[in-house]
């Protein structure tokens, strides 16, 4: 008697897909990308940027018109006890940055920033748009 088995090619594809380890730049030497969420209201932009493991003092935000640049640096901790040896290091240390352009200039004088639980929260009010002025000819 022969055994007949059913073969599903999609099953093989998805089986490997969900079991593979997730790479986060540690093995490739690349800096992880700063992930952001940007929301817009009629008066402002709200930005949430993930910067896990970075100290508040090592984060810098630069605003130039509609362009926002976020940079941060995660510093390596050199704390090693006697008799202890490092077997594997996958965490990224170094600088990360992200810049993006918004649809309208930001009023940097009224902009605010908060850093809570590894997430940078920016409130970026829009600059009042300059209305074109029509001159009257005398």
Q: Using 50 as the pLDDT threshold, list the residues of the chain that sit under it.
A: 16-27
Whether pTM exceeds 0.75: no
Query: Where in the chain are the domains?
Result: 31-77+92-128
Dump pLDDT digits (tens) for 28-51. Answer: 556 678 899 999 999 999 999 999
In CATH, what number does 31-77+92-128 get?
A: 2.60.40.790
User: Which whole-number Å values give the CA distances from 69 to 46, 61, 101, 124, 130, in the listed order?
Assistant: 14, 6, 9, 13, 24
Termini Cα distance of the chain: 105
């Amino acid at each position: 008697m022969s055994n007949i088995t059913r073969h599903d090619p999609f099953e093989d594809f998805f089986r490997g897909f969900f079991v593979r380890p997730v790479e986060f730049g540690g093995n490739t030497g690349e800096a992880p990308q700063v992930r952001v969420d940007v929301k817009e209201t009629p008066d402002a932009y709200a930005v949430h940027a993930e910067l896990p493991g970075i100290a508040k003092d090592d984060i810098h935000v630069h605003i130039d018109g509609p362009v926002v640049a976020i940079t941060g640096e995660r510093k390596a901790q050199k704390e090693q006890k006697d008799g202890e040896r490092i077997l594997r290091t996958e965490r990224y240390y170094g600088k990360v940055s992200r810049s993006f352009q918004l649809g309208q200039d930001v009023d940097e004088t009224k902009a605010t920033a908060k850093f809570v639980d590894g997430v940078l929260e920016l409130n970026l009010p829009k600059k009042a748009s300059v209305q074109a002025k029509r001159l009257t000819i005398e």
